[in-house]
Structure 1
Amino acid sequence: MKNVHAESDARAQNQSKPTIEKEKSYRELIENLNDIVYTTDDKAIVTWVSPNISRLSGYTPDEVIGKNFIDFVAPDDLTGRIDQFLKILGGTTQATEYRLVTKTGEIKWARTNGRPIRREGRVVGVQGILVDITDQKKTEEALRQSEEKYRILVQHAKDAIFVIQEERIRFMNPKASEILGYTCEGIADRSFIDFVHPDDRAAIVDRYIRRLRGEPLSDQISFRILNKDGDVRDVDLNAVLISWEKKPAILNFLRDITRHNQMEAQLRYAQKMEALGTLAGGIAHNFNNLLMGIHGNVSLSLMRLDPSASSIKYLENINKLVESGSRLTHQLLDSARGGSCEFGTVDVNQLVREVSETLTATKKHIRLHPRLSEKIPCIQADRGQIEQVLLNLFLNAADAMPDGGNVFIETSALTGAGARGKAALSSHRTYVLLKVSDGGTGIPEKNLDRIFEPFFTTKGLENGTGLGLSTAYGIAKSHYGDIAVESEVDKGSSFFVYLPASEDGLAATETMKVSEAATGQGTILLVDDDASVIETSAELLELMGFAVLTASCGPDALGTFLKKWQLIDLVILDLIMPEMSGKALYHQMKKINPGVKVLLSSGFSVSGEAEDLLRIGCHGFIQKPYDIKQLSATIVDILSAE
């Protein structure tokens, strides 16, 4: 793949406003957490830390970033922290408690949960969450020193604190009551095991028995609990063996880490999607080059064959398959753009037709049935994002029918007054409705008001991020529309996506015919590192009447241009090449001939680097695979312009 990292950087610089807002929301979430998020490189140098580090240490992020973390560790705990860091670099997740020295010299306790950062199969650093447990440590000390101090700290602690004796909860503080959903009186000596998730109970019971025996165990354990409402919560538990009313008991400190785990899941998801986006973009680019070679050879064959030849229909079928493959790569490139937003006129019916084939290919046990209204307006929208809405709703429907079934996609036009469910729309405005229905398991009524919340999922974090429907909701809202749902358990669900109709009127029902390939004259320098593209495109250009010079890399192209720039009327320039990029070559040619005319060509879509070059003087962009009619029309337009 060619310089995919450069392309990824270019896409990152082209992020849309919605993406920036989303990143802002994630950053605000991190900055408002009580805990501290941090990353280091493999040399223990801090590379990023959230702003609330100042609450714990007194240092600002700028004073911490760039320094070795051991600079902040109390000397007595240094050996243990270094050993833990090395274990994380070895590929394991590690949790520990240690003392750190603040800016004023004060000693504070912290608990950290660190995991390795992997890139290309190699551990390159550590990421984790740092928790201030000074209050917890003070609580433990207070229990040994003063009953009164203990009560004050316990009642106001941020962690849930409770005592278990003979498998029953004998005491709990207000925070424990909040997490479990019961008052201390209402719990009536209930067993704590009742609150532990069924899958985790055996391990917790075994740990409880072993601790009562006095066996040396780590103080911390993570597991899941079920509160009064039946919600699953992830928790960290620290336990200390004590005497309660002259009998052995266990003092427990419990913290709800559900949100932290969700944030970590989102971080992993974002890293995964970034990697997949880079991979998808590279695959799409290379595949478009292959399609260009196929399409060029077919076009040459069609031009040379007698119109009555029986083989023409087979070649035309190949061209149709190339066009179908091109649509697939466009969808890959839309995903790889990382959410950049490009609004344009979108024919919803045509979009559904094109996407349906891709959707059914992802879940072959699902039968997709488009039911499209013939006369509906276009919409002003980002095509890739509306495709994402369709994909998310389809996958949601497929998950509801693991044994297969039917999904119906319907389109229609209506005013906001006719909207279903709780959609908030203008009553007099016209909207295009996308309705996606399935015959799956349905959604319980208690969950209907939560399904569009970020991270909400009934599948568990290992099977879903809880972001599919929330993403669809966000896209609908960003397009000044809305999304609603109707569902019945064991009968299925219907999602209604409302998008404002364009003022340009109805969608076109016929595709405009492209004129025959234009002819021309002049000299063209064709620069591309793909031999199949060079060979077919050069011959097509010669058939159109042009003299063609070719170069397979930047340095060769620069040498040819330096010698013959006065003869060259147009340069067709591939953007992604080894040795010298299309951008670098363009700037070098501009130094030789400031008036050079350049048509950019790429297997990637027009974004990032291509947009930058178009702004500073390039004359056009054509995406591979292009046909002879498209190429000739573009060339004639550029050469005929003043």
Structure 2
Amino acid sequence: GKEDGIFFVRNFDGIQLMSVSKPELVGKDTSRLTDPQGINVHMLFMKAIKNPEGGFVEYSWYDPFEKKIAPKRTFVMAVPEWRWYVGTGFWFHDINSEIQKEKDRIAHTLSIQGLAAIVVILLMVPFIYALSRYMARRINRNISGFAEFFERSATTLKDIDQKDMQFLEFQRLALNANHMIRELKAARQRLEDLQNIVNLSPVVAFLLRAEEGWPVEFVSDNITRFGYKPEDFYTGNLNFASIIHPDDLYRVKEEISRFSSEHGCDSFSHEYRILTSAGEARWVDDRTRITRDKHGVATHYQGIILDITERKTAQQKLEESEQRYRTVVENSHDGLLIADDAYHITFANEQFLKILGRTAEEVIGHDFRDFLDEESAKIVADHYLRRQRGEKAEPRYEFNVMRKNGERRRVEISSSVVRDTQGWVTTVAQLMDITDKKRLEEQLLLAQKMEAVGTLAGGIAHDFNNLLMGILGNASLMLMDMDKDSPHYQRLKNIEQAVHNGAKLTKQLLGYARGGKYEVKPVDPNDLIKEALSMFGRTKKEISIHTMFGEKVWHVEVDRAQMQQVLLNLYVNAWQAMPGGGDLYIQTQNVELDEDYTRPYDLAPGRYVKISTTDTGHGMDEETKKRVFEPFFTTRGKGGGTGLG
């Protein structure tokens, strides 16, 4: 109440913390409030509290009890530990009112007592002055008590004794202050418990100002794990930017600047390296929350950092291992694939795609059996089911895959089944394209057969040639003693010619036994074909012959007689496949074969002339195609010829 004086508390910035007469000012900024004369009252108070014992300030102010502006005198005193000042005051008209009452009483008495009243008035003046001084000392004692309390609570958090407060406002303030002390004690205990938890955890907590270098306002004690002490930052010797690795600092600045300028961004995370006090680089995971002012400008960054060096090292090793694995897989000469239990392909390397002649988009997610012929799909399914049932199955087996262009390729597969903890099955398979290998094996087998036949043919040719020489010799001797008019002369000449024909046959057999090489000369392929067709066409009128000779075809080194025999055999074979007549097409063209094409055929890469023969006959089945170059193989019965010879 007014009888106990008016009490208020403000901080040094002019923010009203407590007011009895005008509670609506609590929390408001009073630093710019002036009295009717334009005097800044806050500045007067700040000037007075420079005296450690406080001081009086006189100004005009609104009296809420009298509801008017009147001169006022206020005593203020600073609490520097809290950056507060407290004050209490009184209006002069309250003192004047008391004086007026006394004057009225004295005037009344003076009218009765005369001169005695004048004496009393003169005595009242020092009394009023003494009363004012007494009131000021009482207020000063209360404020001094609060000043001691604030100084003490700044370090010991000890309660203030309310019994020492004479004024009601001070007693209320003491009650609130003690409540504040208890809350502060509990908050400090919670903060200490939280800090202990943080210090025992692997994360380091921090609070940074959003200024150049990010000065540190708080860092948890476990910053020692990086070799630093909190005091290194509090004293200003270090800021947060000074411990970030120089190679990462620019990036970190750019990221923080970007996050801070983004509207609505309250938190972010990123990874970078910091340097320990010993200079060791350690990777950290930074999780930060942005504190902004009312204009949205970042003022502080609060968050945690976690040392992730071991995780980064393991991740780098894993990436290096994956890269080595990928390099091995992608550069493997074998096709590699992974499929689920429904045969769907989940991974395929480049070589596997090359075997199929397809892209990854055409393979991944598709059923593996879609790329097999019907028979091979059954083989794969049967093999997979037997392994699923735990039955014995060969680890390696062969089947055919179908390329995108329809070409069939022979592959050998080696697979293993991986079953996870939930029972899901994954198949890892390795495929080797053995088409060329199979072809080489067949060519080797054919070469071995040819070698055996050649050896046999060579032996027969020598023996047969000896027999022919005996016949030829005897026939020649008989002709020497025989007249040309003799009826036997021509018969002996026929025998002699037959022997010569037999000699040519043995010569061919010997040539075959030696690998088919004898009179090899440069020949124009077009001329060679025209000669063979001329002989064939005169006897086989029912066959229509169509030629497409390439221009300026290269000459080839061959035995002319052998090639004519080969061509005639082809033409005769085509005629036999078209008993009712048909069409025969012959084409020549220059081709250049590279090493990839010629390797399976044991040929040198270079320039060749390609001779293509096509007919409209019934063709050959797969089994016949496999044996087409076997010596003397034929699909006709006994006496039907020797096929392609």
Greater Rg over alpha carbons, structure: 2
Which TM class, normalised by the smaller chain length? 0.3 to 0.5
TM-score for both structures, normalised by structure 1: 0.37
TM-score (norm 2): 0.37
